[in-house]
A = this chain, B = another copy of it.
């Protein structure tokens, strides 16, 4: 029973809140690999390119080099609708980022944020682009939740997305673009940003659903009779909720800021749709807060159930001990060695049925006490 707990604990620690990326005194905007986690950096991120107009997809390259990516040249009036979506899947190397940064005039501070994965949602307006960071939470394979940063650079008619989340995360959007009839192709790159942000936000729902199921199972267990294992699982649920809260509160603010700010990269239509996305993130926060309250109320329930069960057990022991007290007293009484020559000294010992009388007395006493305890509801 302890085994899975410790295993789970270790898994949780792996995915623990990262703070290692900061070295006080380092120059800002420096694109250097952070060193201590070089193993996952070994594989450079995979870059895919998708270019589309309202007429449909014009280029669909699943694996291109960073150097091949360039903002679409503005050659006509409706250039806004000739959109290039560069998607970087995995952790990009500093070199990849530098190449992209040079081609799209990305701000060094933003590139640094992508590289160092600070893991806090934010939205910043730079001259040449809108920079948006969201947090994708997914079920970690070892249990618990894993947090992955998803960053977006939104330009006039291009969008660069960098995701360390599960590889297939944006596949539904890619599919909708490829099917000609999608609304995504009719609007610009900002609508694509909305569609991807919506995917990231909505990916919170399955997590919450799973957590809700677990909390209700835990409630069942606690009402039926709980074990320490139950308490630990409530504890883990609370930890996950802490992580979710830390990730999703800033995310909600980011969506709200995008919806309200007058960034010139976002059209009014997209803002309208972002309102929908904002509603979802508000609902998610609502759920997180309600579940937090539920989890702490479950803990109260667990503690009172535990103490109740212990008390019941102890009461049974006390009742048993109390019933034996007068019985043992009686047997001890007739074990006294009084000189039975005197007629006043324990004449009962000489009675023909003395032994049976004593046994009967003891039976009556035990039955009486049992009845009394029952009436007092101590049994």
Contacts and interface: CB of A to CB of B under 8 A. Distances in A.
Interface in A82-117: 109, 112-113
A279 B122 contact: yes
Contacts of A290: 17, 242, 246
- Report which residue of A19, A199, A216, A228 has the largest number of chain B beta carbons within 10 angstroms of its beta carbon: A19
A122 B205 CA distance: 19
B342 A354 contact: yes
Contact of A325 (B294, B324, B354): B324
A203 B120 contact: no
A308 interface: yes
A313 interface: yes
Given A17-B287, A238-B297, A355 B338 contact: yes
A261 B322 CA distance: 73
A46 interface: no
A24 B199 contact: yes
A275 interface: yes
A16 B28 CA distance: 34
A63 interface: no
B355 A120 contact: no
B19 A212 contact: yes
Given A183-B27, A304-B306, A321 B324 contact: no
A244 to B, nearest CB: 11
A205 B345 contact: no
Contact of A355 (B22, B344, B354): B344
A23 interface: yes
Interface size grouping (class) on chain A: 35 or more
A151 to B, nearest CB: 14
Contacts of A305: 228
A22 B280 contact: yes
Interface in A307-337: 307-308, 310-311, 313-315, 317-322, 324-329, 331-337
A43 interface: no
A204 to B, nearest CB: 9
B335 A173 contact: no
B202 A24 contact: yes
Given A19-B287, A118-B279, 20 more contacts: A19-B209, A24-B199, A28-B195, A28-B273, A109-B276, A113-B279, A239-B294, A313-B318, A313-B378, A314-B315, A314-B318, A321-B325, A331-B335, A335-B337, A339-B354, A342-B351, A342-B352, A342-B354, A344-B352, A346-B355
13 contacts: A6-B223, A16-B212, A16-B216, A17-B212, A23-B202, A24-B203, A24-B205, A24-B206, A317-B322, A327-B329, A336-B337, A339-B350, A345-B354
Interface of A: 5-6, 9, 13, 16-17, 19-20, 22-29, 109, 112-113, 118, 120, 122, 124, 170-173, 176, 182-183, 195, 198-199, 202-203, 205-206, 208-209, 212, 216, 219-220, 223, 228, 231-232, 235, 238-239, 242, 246, 272-273, 275-276, 279-280, 282-283, 286-287, 290, 293-294, 297, 299-308, 310-311, 313-315, 317-322, 324-329, 331-340, 342, 344-346, 349-356, 358, 376, 378
A-B pairs, top 7 by smallest CB distance, nearest first, are: A25-B172, A24-B202, A334-B336, A331-B332, A22-B205, A335-B335, A317-B318
